Amino acid sequence: MNHQEVELLALGAGPSNLALAVALEELAPELATRTLIIEQHENVAWQRGMLLPWTQSQVSFLKDLVTLRNPQSKFSFVNYLHSVGRLNEFVNLGSFTPYRMEISDYLLWVAESLAQVRIEYDRRCVAIEPVLSHDGQVERWTVRLGDGSTIACRTLVVGAGRDAHIPEVFTALPRERIIHSTEYSQGVARLDHDAPQRVAVIGGAQSAAEMLWAVHQGMPNAQCTMVMRSIGLNGYESSKFTNELFYASFIDEFHGSRPEARRQLLGEMHRTNYAGLSPGLLETLYRQIYLERLTGEERIRMITMAEVSEARMEGGEVVLTLTDRKSGRRDELPCDVVLLGTGFDRRMPSLVREMAVKAGLDEIDVDRFYKLTLPAGSGAACYLQGVNEDTHGIADSLLSALASRAEEIVGHIQESRAAAELLSPFALPVAS
């Protein structure tokens, strides 16, 4: 259909909006029937580009979409395991951290189990247009899709994640020569796995290390070079004391802290999620490198404390210029393909930034309940999920906060609707 109108529209059928859908069905079923989630892909998948068969989550299975909010929910990970006949085997495995593909399958199971919230697939949002009153208030939203259709809503929830970070130095390379971790599975499938590929992996955290190991194992003739700015690979910071900062109860404390305290907390928590590797992968890589040195068949090379200062095409190959951070010496590294484990853009997603400009916002700011600050008197609302680390802490982009955040957003939407109805019984639109 060319145009739809709904009361609540959520962009992206990832963990954040699936947790929201579950909270709606359990806490606000009437609103759930007026809610639509759109997803740009043909199905639900978690970390689609890095669904490698041996990768595990670093988060307990109890931090699923719902358990920390409602342990009796039918949407729990434990009930998923029971439903697919794998509960005994998972218990016997003796692990709190499921395989990544298992979490992905759980999310798909939840999406297919929803009874009231609708999900439409293959619907890519290309723009969010605020509908403004004559004095600049946002009255509603019009979401434009890639197929030319539109969806109008009063309440919008953006849960599509951050944009991939591709450092500027690589932007001049042909797109087929660089593969960001978010596109790894699709990108690496295009390569000749039997050819003697020279693969450069940029980055020193989990995603870069996973790509390095996957290429090493899946392309037996490849030469793999890992380039990182740090002094070497490090493990995740995972003490139980530090992990208490991932509690939902800590969000209030973080949000109420002074800006300098927030910066300190985020800096000290960096290695809990962004700058480390899982212990198992660290051990695997070190033993492999040791074994290759022992046999003289070295296929993994690590270059530490180096910056990629230039990247160009020359004679049909990619040439990276590396600057040693200790000496300033510059060396060249020829390769065939570059894998980027460079994470995500720290800014708000471009879709949100463009929307904010159209809405006349000087800055993008959310309140404690993740609601975007709009011009005073605006009847529309927009909630941002998974992009508020600066104000809500490092857990904001992780599975840890999903259940409690969904509950808070649903509660806030209900309170706002109730207040609007008190002011004017005709204030809310009729959804179709």
Looking at every residue in the chain, the average pLDDT score rounds to: 93
Lowest mean pLDDT among 270-279, 309-318, 325-334: 270-279
CA–CA dist 139, 155 (Å, integer): 10
- Domains belonging to the chain, first-starting first, are 3-163+345-423 (3.50.50.60), 168-236+273-340 (3.50.50.60)
| 236 pLDDT tier (thresholds 50, 70, 90) | confident
| 272 pLDDT tier (thresholds 50, 70, 90) | confident
Residue 3 — left, alpha, or beta (φ > 0 → left; ψ -120 to 50 → alpha)? beta
Q: Do residues 348 and 387 make contact, with C-beta atoms less than 8 angstroms apart?
A: yes
| 286 pLDDT tier (thresholds 50, 70, 90) | very high
Q: Is the pLDDT of residue 430 over 70?
A: no
Lowest mean pLDDT among 4-8, 90-94, 186-190, 247-251: 247-251
**Beta strand pairing status for 35-38 and 8-11?**
parallel
* Amino acid identity, position 165: H
- State the residue for tokens 């529209």: 9
| 432 pLDDT tier (thresholds 50, 70, 90) | very low
CA–CA dist 42, 82 (Å, integer): 26
| 431 pLDDT tier (thresholds 50, 70, 90) | very low
* Amino acid identity, position 249: S
